[in-house]
Structure 1
Amino acid sequence: MADLSQEQWAQQLKADENAFLLDVRTEEEVADGFIPNAKNLNIFKGQAFVYELEALDKNKNYYVYCKAGGRSGQACALMNQMGFENTYNLMGGFSEWTGEVEE
């Protein structure tokens, strides 16, 4: 897992042809806006969240974010334990995101 600044995360994501964008916020938070092309898996769903992660391709590079960076850091650590090799946590999360947003 790597904790990346907003700028590093955005630049790396843009250049990565094997990227998978993962939003681990609640559905209510996602309703306030999200980064385009992000897949939402709510980390608060517990075991259901783990099952959803197991269905993902472990060979992708995962760019993970939440509201402030805490939950996405936990998600990255969990994913690494599950065999995902490349996870990148967005420090500061969506609340500090200045890039493109979909409503």
Structure 2
Amino acid sequence: MNHSADVPTVSVDDLPSGEEYVLLDVREQDEWAAGHAPSAVHIPLGDLPSRAAELTELADDRPVYVVCRTGGRSARATAWLNAAGVVDAVNVAGGMKSWVTSGRPLVGENDGVAAEVL
């Protein structure tokens, strides 16, 4: 069954400006370390069910925008978060690839290596 039509989605360009939203990165640790949005929160997709409570506290009634590399995993995470009633989640179309294309900042955890989206 394809529920993608039910998943609220925004483009990177339509993200709110400023810090009044939570950006959740559901990629794996190696992807996160290579490059991520400076303000993002990292919870890999597989850890989401066990760490959902953290997200509820972080969100504080604000929407949570979910991002992965290109939008597939984040769509699944968004659907799950909304269905489970954890937070109001919105999928970021195009993921971190679109984030970089839009000229948004990227930071990495690997010393001496330029940040990149794996």
Give the TM bin, normalised by the shorter chain.
Answer: 0.7 to 0.9
Count of equivalent residues = 96
Matches within 5 A, 1:69-80: 69-80=71-82
Matches within 5 A, 1:1-103: 1-9=7-15, 12=16, 14-15=17-18, 17=20, 19-43=21-45, 45=46, 48-57=47-56, 59-98=61-100, 99-103=104-108
> Quick one: which amino acid aligns to residue 6 of structure 1?
V
Can you give the 5+ residue segments of structure 1 that lack an aligned partner in the other structure? none
| TM-score between both structures, scaled by the size of structure 1 | 0.81
> Quick one: which amino acid aligns to residue 75 of structure 1?
A
Alpha-carbon distance, 1:49 to partner? 2.2
Alpha-carbon distance, 1:56 to partner? 2.3
Can you give the 5+ residue segments of structure 2 that lack an aligned partner in the other structure? 1-6, 109-118
Q: Which has the larger strand fraction?
A: 1
Q: Percent identity?
A: 29
> Which portions of structure 1, spanning 4 or more consecutive aligned residues, are displaced by more than 6 angstroms?
none
| TM-score between both structures, scaled by the size of structure 2 | 0.72
* Distance of aligned partners of 1:61 and 1:92 in 2 relative to their CA distance in 1, 3 Å threshold: same
Q: Secondary structure at the match of 1:54?
A: helix
Q: How far does the alpha carbon of each residue in 1:49-82 deviate from its partner, in whole angstroms, 9 at most, with x for none?
A: 2020133226231011000101001101000012
